[in-house]
Amino acid sequence: MSDVLFINARLIDPASGLDQQGALLVRDGRIADLGQNLGRPDGVAVVDGEGAVLCPGLVDMRVEVGEPGGEYRENIPSAALAAAFGGITTVAALPDSKPAIDDPALVRLLRTRGEETGSLTVHPYGALTRGCRGEELAELGLLREAGAVAFTDGARAIGPAKLMRLALTYARMFSARIVQHPEEPTLAAGGAATEGELATRLGLPGIPAAAEALMVARDIALARLTGGAVHFAHVSTAAALELIRRAKDEGLAITCDTAPPYFDLNETAIGNWRSYAKLSPPLRADADRQAVAAALADGTIDAVASDHQPRDPDDKRLPFAQAQPGGAGLATLLGITLAQVHGSGLPLGRALELLTVAPARILGVPAGTLARGAAADLALFDPDRSWRVTAGALPGRAQNTPFDGRALEGRVLGTWKAGRRVFGG
């Protein structure tokens, strides 16, 4: 393994508040030193950052990796390619695969499959219920022991309140978090778009935006009752965010993330029945989009995740109501988040916090920092270099991006895993 010296880089480490021009030295796959006046040891490879940002490799806390059972849509090696393109070095893999990740052996398998790529660490979620069917709890203790970072049923909400109460109580014994898809399932059943004028005009069955807030309110009450920890995924409405804000003020163990579509797009993106923009939860009214964008800055939202949901063309080339929801997000996670920096005044340090140390802390994994001694998982990017998102030309198998044709500023120049370059150069 070669030692590497990065020079002429803007070092940003949200974990420590560092933001300065300087150099960073990697030895034996770990960060040995960083600062403004580092020497050039003999025998090290030198990477000139030319003023670009060097930050921790991104940590994406919500990814479908395609394994097991969905390899025709994506697999771990192809997801690793897309992740490296986007500066991502660590992901948390959703468990609602076929079979579901409800067996400790499958947790260990996914971790190993990630290690085999040499470029991506995969931290599996454990299925909260057997088969992710929402009927009975999985063996949470054994899954946790095998390395599950938290528990969820992925894109399926935990509907029965009694089951969610039991899950929170049980998971608390392992200091584990429950990750909820916040959508009241009976209200969402059969829906394809956010209920309202646009859905009516397009003739699409609607999902009321209130379905999200109702589930959030219920689970906050259950967290208060049990003392358990709930993380709400891909939050997309102002009403839900206000409930989460109040719960945090109360001191409850509540966290949440959102995904780039919910602060960058609104429901008009589904116009002309554009199935690549069919997502779960569905795209919202612009007032909700603006509320999500504001919550990135004010701290209500704890992390930004790609919500990478690979679909193949046959899943999407259907009438809108029958098309599968989901969008590919690994390659565009950084670029779309940086659009908030360029266009809405979100501080760059805060944007990178949402993508690095914040999700790492929620998951309890050792990533997302430039601390001395930490693994040299790094991303080098030019925040002003432009590129265009083109479905069919993205790295990895999944091409179902809702951002097809979008021009972005913020291009990854290089990604390093444990000091080894895995993208760029």
Active-site residue set: 307
**What CA–CA distances, in Å, run from 143 to 91, 107, 138, 232?**
18, 7, 8, 21
DSSP string for 332-369 = THHHHHHHHHHHH---HHHHHHHHTHHHHHHHT-S-S-
**What CA–CA distances, in Å, run from 272 to 188, 204, 234, 278, 410?**
22, 11, 24, 12, 29
Single-letter residue type at 271: G
Count of C-beta atoms within a 10 Å radius of residue 39: 9
**Rounded CA gap, 296 and 257, in Å?**
9
What are the residues whose beta carbons fall under 8 Å from the beta carbon of 251, sequence distance 6 or more? Answer: none
Distance of CA 248 to the CA centre of its chain: 21
**Rounded CA gap, 330 and 310, in Å?**
10
**Rounded CA gap, 39 and 24, in Å?**
10
For helices 76-85 and 104-117, give the axis angle rounded to 10 degrees: 50
Name residue 121's beta-bridge partners: 90
4's enclosing H/E stretch is strand 4-13
Residue 49 dihedral angles phi and psi, to the nearest 5°: -75, -15
What are the residues whose beta carbons fall under 8 Å from the beta carbon of 12, sequence distance 6 or more? Answer: 18, 19, 53, 54, 55, 348, 349, 352
**Rounded CA gap, 260 and 291, in Å?**
13
